Amino acid sequence: MSRRDLIEAIDALLPQTQCGKCGFDGCLPYAQAIAEGEPINRCPPGGDATLERLAGLTGQPVQPLAEPSQLPLTAVIREAECIGCTKCIQACPVDAILGAAKRMHTVIVDECTGCELCVAPCPVDCIDMVPHPAWQAAESEADREAYLERRADLGRRRHRARQARLARQAKEKRLERQKRLMQQRRHAGSEGGAGSNTGVGPGRLRQRQMAVNAAEQAVKRVRQQLESAQRRQDAPAEATARAQLPEAEQLLADARSALENGTP
């Protein structure tokens, strides 16, 4: 089996809640890590059933789950208490929350994977996690399996659609910023060279934008490592990530400054 097929096969066995409790930024990154030899016992929503299937696929031994398994949940917003800050929408990996700024928000229960990622960011603590009604209503093992398959299929599709949308928006924002900088540069040039980025050609500008993109990715990665270490209560990993963060942030600040001010 090729590495790509293996990753797809592993991903197909994961529950697709996209909760990050495995320490990775979603199910697909965990599938990629398992293909590289990461232990298979890190998925609480998958529980023992997923663990056994992963063992059958990868040949890794069945071992105790790193954290207790978890029954399917859904988020419910106590709408009267919601202040419409939109933080939960930003946190939801599958776009299962409806609402607008300063308006009451609500969870689309059929699309909620129960990942719990919306709970911590809510500033007024008005999100409860409860057993998923479809899971509770299931009367047989076949019904439960059918629900889990539906949740996984929907979770995977909605997560990918969200990632594609975020990537598109980030690209549009980048292009918009590049366009603005080019205009500023042309404007500065027409005024006799005063101002920023004067004399910096489009190739150089592109390089600087790429440096900013790379630095943003590095900061994001270190923050994810930090959050993951905190979640796992892994003190050495947390200390390492904390030590790396200031340097990554400084590199990002320098890269942005070089892009915006034309400094070397």
Buried b (16+ CB within 10 A) or exposed e, 224-247: bbbebbeebeeeebbeebeebbee
Whole-number minimum distance, CB 207 to ligand SF4, in Å? 35
> What is the token pair recorded at 177?
């910023």
- C-alpha–C-alpha distance, residues 56 and 123, integer Å: 43
Q: Does 222 bind ligand SF4 (CB under 6 A)?
A: no
Contacts of 230 (CB under 8 A, 6+ apart): 238
**Whole-Å CA distances, 214 to 62, 86, 211, 222:** 38, 28, 5, 12
Q: Does 17 bind ligand SF4 (CB under 6 A)?
A: yes
Q: Does 83 bind ligand SF4 (CB under 6 A)?
A: yes
Whole-number minimum distance, CB 80 to ligand SF4, in Å? 11
Q: Does 72 bind ligand SF4 (CB under 6 A)?
A: no
The two counts, helices (H) then strands (E), for the chain are: 8, 4
Instruction: Report helix, strand or coil for 258.
Output: helix
Q: Does 96 bind ligand SF4 (CB under 6 A)?
A: yes
Strands 97-98 and 106-107: antiparallel
Whole-number minimum distance, CB 96 to ligand SF4, in Å? 4
User: Which of 54, 126, 222, 241 forms a contact with ligand SF4 (CB under 6 A)?
Assistant: 126
Q: Does 100 bind ligand SF4 (CB under 6 A)?
A: no
Whole-number minimum distance, CB 67 to ligand SF4, in Å? 9
Provide the binding-site residues for ligand SF4, judged by CB under 6 A. Answer: 14-15, 17-22, 24, 26-27, 30, 43-46, 75, 77, 82-88, 91-92, 94, 96-97, 99, 105, 107, 112-118, 121-122, 124, 126-127
